[in-house]
A and B are shown apart, each in its own frame.
Chain A
Amino acid sequence: MNSFTIRAARPHADETTALLDWSVGHLDELERWAIRRQVPVPGPILAGIRRRYAEDGGRAPEPVPPVWDREPDSVPAGQVPEAALLAALERDLLLYAASLAEGRIDDLTVTTVPGVPAAFYAPQSRRLFLPDWLAEAVSGRLFAPTALFPEPPSATVSWLFFQSLVLTPPSLPSGPAAHVLGIRESD
């Protein structure tokens, strides 16, 4: 019997800084991530990252050691404002528990972070960082109704993890977690 557990952790200011630094160093992947997932990153967040990229030539400082690999400041998942979303994520990832177990993942610690542009995953600590604006906008439908498809299919929220960008050093390419971990989302 497979299991899957979601924990919650409070954000730290230096995590936001580190995630923004990482984003500057991986701007091409970040832009592709948002466009190909129809994720509307708030304009000011993206503009700030592009401005820094233009100023720094894409060279952001590398956090040493990465702040997202340290022990998280855990809180009970049911006591955070995003409790309902975390419960949905736990329920939906349980559907993939067998595949996740092959990647030795049976738990995640989720932190909702203000002011960051994407969902990020730190494999060392199995921490998932979700932007606050994204956590507030997650829908139970695959897309909004249109004239052609007035009844959109229902959707899982598992993509918040599977499609999160894996936090790699600035010199290494990243990619969505499912791809990096070799997990088929349709198996």
Chain B
Amino acid sequence: MSRNIRVDVAVVGDGLIGMSTALHLRRRYLSVAVIGGTTQGRASTAAAGMLTPACEYDPWMPQEFYELLREGLDYYPPFLSAFGFTPESVGFRSTDFTLLDLVERPDSLQSRTEWMDKYGIENRWLSPAEVCDAEPHLSPRTFRGAIRIKDEAVVNPRALLQAMTEWASAEECPVLVGGLTGVDDEHGRLRLTTGEGDTVIADQVVIAAGSWSGQVGRAFGLDIPVCPVKGQIVRLAGPPGLLRSVAFMPSGGCGSIVSRSPGEYIVGTSEEYLRPETDNTAGVVGTILSRLCAVVPEAAEWRIEEMWSGFRPMTSDELPILARADDPRIVVATGHHRNGVLLTAVTGRLVAALIDDEAPGLSLDRFRYGRPLRPHTRFATKY
């Protein structure tokens, strides 16, 4: 039987960003309904879960973006505590990152230490011998050195999404399925219809539909120019404890080796702009595994458990959109690209503040809706 629900805020998107937003809104005693879409190919359950502002930021990006990423990491522990999620239950733990300067790269990464120092990131350049001391299972044939970054973190995005969804359900925040199929005005409010025939009447709407935000935005008459950027991930099983940190390899689509739990290794990834299918391909998986086995030779014996892919929502300037739209009833929270997991918690907090017309506490001008964004171009696949 279809439902007819009246709420303060409807959140379109039941991924990490949408659910975090719903949780933060509920904590403000607002009534909330979430409208979910397809679970196929969404970024929330595809990501490795690295929480690393130092590795993900590039100096060509505005400083405000680094500040956002940093706040994204710093806010995780209080966020988990506020909603009663134990770190163990969502796989959150503090860890160092080893940013490997792979020989396959034409240019060295060593100069990155300069801006890391400027931004107060605790880091140290390691010679190949020092990398071997820190990570004895890595082969020095593959790197010129590394930057060791202290005290960043990882989280299990699948466990986090499940925990947030359960919290929302327990707090009487309905999560409707079937996707958004219609939008109408109803006496100044917005009436949203789902594919299951449910109706949600809301004072305000948050669009947090990831790579589908452009399509959802059009239903509201908005232009939200995000494109889906595919990433492929492989999960392997091997002996526990081989890595003491997360290995981050900015080569191709940015390789990484994350130990999610003892003996469970998540390895990625690609950046693919032109292949909107949720498949795994020989070229990408082959390259990811080949790089893994070169960097960690013992990995040749690890067992492949699973592989999948997901689509990160990217704007043409690679910055998120976190702002009210032209229609003041609508807040947009999308375009997180590689940083959806890192920015999950802080985005929920910021969007809830925007909905409540409060100062968000961070400068969001660089992330405003309607800033000049070019149409997308056909980037080459990176892996």
Which of B168-176, B222-230, B289-297 lies at the interface? B222-230
Contact call A187/B60, Cβ cutoff below 8 A = yes
Q: How far is the CA of A23 from the CA of B277 in the complex (A)?
A: 30
Contacts of A158 in B (CB 8 A): 377
Contact call A176/B316, Cβ cutoff below 8 A = no
User: Using an 8 Å CB-CB cutoff, how does the interface string of A144-163 with B read, 1 for contact, 0 for none?
Assistant: 00101111111110110011
Residue of B212, B317, B375 most packed against chain A (CB within 10 A): B375
Contacts of A38 in B (CB 8 A): 274-275, 378, 381
Contacts of A159 in B (CB 8 A): 377-379
With both beta carbons as reference points, the residue of chain B lying nearest to A151 in the complex is identified as B215
Contact call B41/A148, Cβ cutoff below 8 A = yes
Contacts of A70 in B (CB 8 A): none
Task: Please list 16 pairs of residues, one from A and one from B, whose beta carbons are closer than 8 Å in the complex, sorted by A's number.
Answer: A36-B382, A38-B378, A142-B274, A143-B276, A148-B38, A148-B41, A151-B214, A152-B276, A155-B376, A155-B378, A156-B377, A159-B377, A159-B378, A159-B379, A162-B377, A185-B377
Contact call A35/B215, Cβ cutoff below 8 A = no
Contact call B317/A186, Cβ cutoff below 8 A = yes
Contact call A153/B381, Cβ cutoff below 8 A = no
Residue of B227, B278, B374, B376 most packed against chain A (CB within 10 A): B376
**Which of B38, B273, B381 meets A142, CB within 8 Å?**
B273
Residue A104 is within 8 A (CB to CB) of chain B in the complex: no
Contact call B225/A37, Cβ cutoff below 8 A = no
Contacts of A10 in B (CB 8 A): none
Contact call B376/A153, Cβ cutoff below 8 A = yes
Residues facing A in B194-247 (CB within 8 A) are 211-212, 214-215, 218, 225-228
Residue B361 is within 8 A (CB to CB) of chain A in the complex: no
Contacts of B316 in A (CB 8 A): 186
Contact call B60/A185, Cβ cutoff below 8 A = no
State whether A146 and B376 are in contact (beta carbons under 8 Å apart), knowing that A151-B215, A153-B214, A187-B60 are contacts in the complex: no
Interface SS majority for chain A: loop
Residue B40 is within 8 A (CB to CB) of chain A in the complex: yes
Contacts of B211 in A (CB 8 A): 149
Residue A184 is within 8 A (CB to CB) of chain B in the complex: yes
Contacts of B377 in A (CB 8 A): 155-156, 158-159, 162, 185
Residue tally, chain B, CB below 8 Å to A: 32
- Given known contacts A149-B212, A151-B214, what 19 new A-B pairs fall within 8 Å (CB)? A35-B283, A35-B381, A37-B274, A37-B381, A38-B378, A142-B273, A143-B274, A146-B277, A148-B277, A150-B215, A151-B215, A153-B376, A155-B375, A156-B377, A162-B377, A185-B377, A186-B317, A186-B318, A187-B317
Q: How far is the CA of A163 from the CA of B376 in the complex (A)?
A: 13
Residue B82 is within 8 A (CB to CB) of chain A in the complex: no
**Which of B38, B60, B380 meets A37, CB within 8 Å?**
B380
Instruction: Return A1 CB to nearest CB of chain B, in Å.
Output: 16
State whether A143 and B376 are in contact (beta carbons under 8 Å apart), knowing that A36-B381, A187-B60 are contacts in the complex: no
Q: How far is the CA of A159 from the CA of B317 in the complex (A)?
A: 16
Residues facing A in B127-160 (CB within 8 A) are none
State whether A163 and B380 are in contact (beta carbons under 8 Å apart), knowing that A35-B283, A151-B214 are contacts in the complex: yes
Contact call A153/B226, Cβ cutoff below 8 A = yes
Instruction: Return B199 CB to nearest CB of chain A, in Å.
Output: 23
User: Using an 8 Å CB-CB cutoff, how does the interface string of A33-68 with B read, 1 for contact, 0 for none?
Assistant: 101111000000000000000000000000000000
Residues facing A in B29-82 (CB within 8 A) are 38, 40-41, 60
Q: How far is the CA of A180 from the CA of B40 in the complex (A)?
A: 37
Q: How far is the CA of A171 from the CA of B226 in the complex (A)?
A: 40
Q: How far is the CA of A36 from the CA of B379 in the complex (A)?
A: 9
With both beta carbons as reference points, the residue of chain A lying nearest to B38 in the complex is identified as A148
Contact call A153/B283, Cβ cutoff below 8 A = no
Contacts of A176 in B (CB 8 A): 380
Contact call A146/B276, Cβ cutoff below 8 A = yes
Contact call B380/A36, Cβ cutoff below 8 A = yes
Contacts of A185 in B (CB 8 A): 377, 379
